[in-house]
Structure 1
Amino acid sequence: MTDAEQGPTLLERMGGVSGLAAAGVPSLAFVIANAIAGLDAAVVVAIAASIGLVVLRRWRRQPIQPAVSGLLGVVIASLIALYTGSAEGYFLPGIWMSVGLATVFAASVVVRRPLVGVIWNALTSAGERAVWHTDRKTLHAFDIATLTFVAVFAARYVVQGRLYDAGSVEWLAAARVAMGYPMLVLALLVTWWAVRRARDRFATTVVAEKVSA
C-alpha cells in the first residue's frame, strides 16, 4: 500500500498539530474566566471556546471529530463543576478517567493480553495477523508499550489528584496541558516501536515458513 493509499495518520485523526495545540484552550479559558468572573462565567467561556474550535475547524475544512469530542468533554466537565459548586470539579472527569485507564491497562498485562497488542491485532489486516501473544519477544514489546500507558495515566492521576485535593485550579489547568498530549506522544512513540517489532517478527515468521515449505 502506498502512502497515498493509506488512511489518515494517527496525528491527523487527533486533529493535527493545530488540534493538539488547541486542545488546552478551553481549560485555560475556564481558569482565567473563573479567576476574573467566577464559576458560572467560567463554564460559559469554556463551552464557548470549545464551540469556537469546532466552528474554526469546520471553516478550515478540517476534520471536526476531535473538536466535537473535546466539546463533549468540556460540557461534562462543566456540568460536574456546576454540580459540585467548585472550579476544581471541572477537572474531575479527567482524573477519574486516568485512574480507570491505568487500571484497565495494568490488568491487561497481568492477564498476559497487553492492551496495546490487543488493539494492534484488532486494527491489523487479516493477512498480517498472528498469534502475537505466543511469541515471547513480541509479547514483551507490547508489555512495555502498555506499561508506558499505565505510567502516563497513573502519573496524571497522582499529580492532578493531589492538586485537586489542594484546590489549586491554576496548577490543575497547567498539569492537564503539560501531562496531556505531550505525555501521550511519548507513549505513542513506544507503541510505534512495539508495533515495528511485532511486524518484524511476523515478517521473519512468514519467511521461515515459506523456506521450510
Structure 2
Amino acid sequence: MTKLQQDDTTNDDHPTTPSPVPETGLPRDEAIVARMGGRKGFVYSAIPVVVFVTANLLLPLAMTISVAVLTGAGLMVFRLVRGERWTSAAGSLVGVAIAAGIVALTGSAKNYFAVGIWANFAGFLIALGSVLARRPVTGLIWNFVHGRKYRWRSDRTVLRAHTVATLAAAGVLGARFGVQQWLYIADNTNALGVARVGMGTPLSAVVALVILWAFRRSTKQLAPKKTKTGEGVGDTGQKPAE
C-alpha cells in the first residue's frame, strides 16, 4: 500500500473531529458546552452569592466584604486541591474580589452585582449583533474549534442551527439584564442574590443544550464529509472561513 493510500485510509477511518479534552473525555467543542451548565459550575457560582447576601443581612458591610473574599479564596484552594487548572480555579476568587472591590469603593452592597448585570447586557448585544450580521457567535466558536476550515455560513442548515442557538443565548442574557437591572434600581440586594442564582447556571444549562445541539448538527452536516482528495469540506487551501 502506498503512503497516499495509507493517508486516505486514515482520513476515512477517522473523520475530522476535535481531539478529546482529557478531564472530560468529550470532544473539545462538546466539553466547552458541558462546562456552561455543569453541576459544579452551579455550586461554584452560587456559593459566593449566597454567602454575600447572607453576610450582608447579619454583618456590617466591611465584614461582609471580608467574608465574601475569604469564601472566594476558599473555593479557589478547594478547586486546586481537586486538581483543577490554576486558570479555572482562580475564577472563584477573581470574580468575587472584583465585585467586593466595587462594593468597598462605592459603599453599596447592591454593587456586588453591578459587573455581572452589565456583562449580561454586553453579552446580549454581542449575541444579537452577531445574528443580525449573519455571523452567529456560536457558529464562529464551532468553526474556530474545528480549525476555521469550514465555510459553515454557506450551509443553510448549519447557519440556521447557530442562529437559533445564539438567539437562545441572547434571550437568556437579555432576561438576566432586564430582571437584575430592575432589582438593582429598586435597591433590593436580597432579591438580586436570588435572581443571580436562579437565573444563573439553571438557565445556562438550557442554553448549553441548545448550543450542543447546534454543534452536533454542524459536525454531522460538515465534518464527516470528504472531497475526492480525502480533505474535509471547506479545506480547500483558501483563506480560512469566517
State if a TM-score over 0.5 links the two structures.
yes
The runs of 4+ residues in structure 1 deviating greater than 6 Å are 207-210
CA 1:204–1:122 in 2, change beyond 3 Å: closer, same or farther? Answer: closer
Q: Which has the higher mean CA deviation after the structures are superposed, 93-102 or 174-183? A: 174-183
Shift of 1:22: 2.7
1:6 match = 20
Counterparts of 2:38 and 2:129, CA distance in 1:
31
Contact 2:38 2:205 (8 Å CA) reproduced: no
Q: Which structure dedicates a bigger proportion of its chain to helix?
A: 1
Query: Could you state the TM-score of these two structures normalised by the residue count of structure 1?
Result: 0.87
**Letter of the 1:31 counterpart:** V
Segments of 5+ residues of structure 2 without an aligned counterpart are 1-13, 24-30, 231-242
Q: 2:39 aligns with which of 10, 17, 23?
A: 17
Segments of 5+ residues of structure 1 without an aligned counterpart are none
CA 1:76–1:46 in 2, change beyond 3 Å: closer, same or farther? Answer: same
CA 1:92–1:51 in 2, change beyond 3 Å: closer, same or farther? Answer: same
Q: Which has the higher mean CA deviation after the structures are superposed, 86-95 or 66-75? A: 66-75
Counterparts of 2:135 and 2:36, CA distance in 1:
26
2:64 match = 42
Counterparts of 1:174 and 1:64, CA distance in 2:
29
Counterparts of 1:61 and 1:135, CA distance in 2:
41
Counterparts of 1:112 and 1:142, CA distance in 2:
10
Shift of 1:104: 0.6
Counterparts of 1:56 and 1:171, CA distance in 2:
28
**Greater relative contact order: 1 or 2 (C-alpha under 8 angstroms, separation 6 or more)?**
2
Question: 1:94-140: per-residue Cα shift (whole Å, max 9, x none)?
Answer: 001000010011000111100000011001146xx320001111101
- Matched residue count: 205
1:142 match = 162
Q: 1:162 aligns with which of 165, 182, 191?
A: 182
Counterparts of 1:134 and 1:69, CA distance in 2:
37
SS at match of 1:112: coil
CA 1:120–1:15 in 2, change beyond 3 Å: closer, same or farther? Answer: closer
Sequence identity percentage: 36
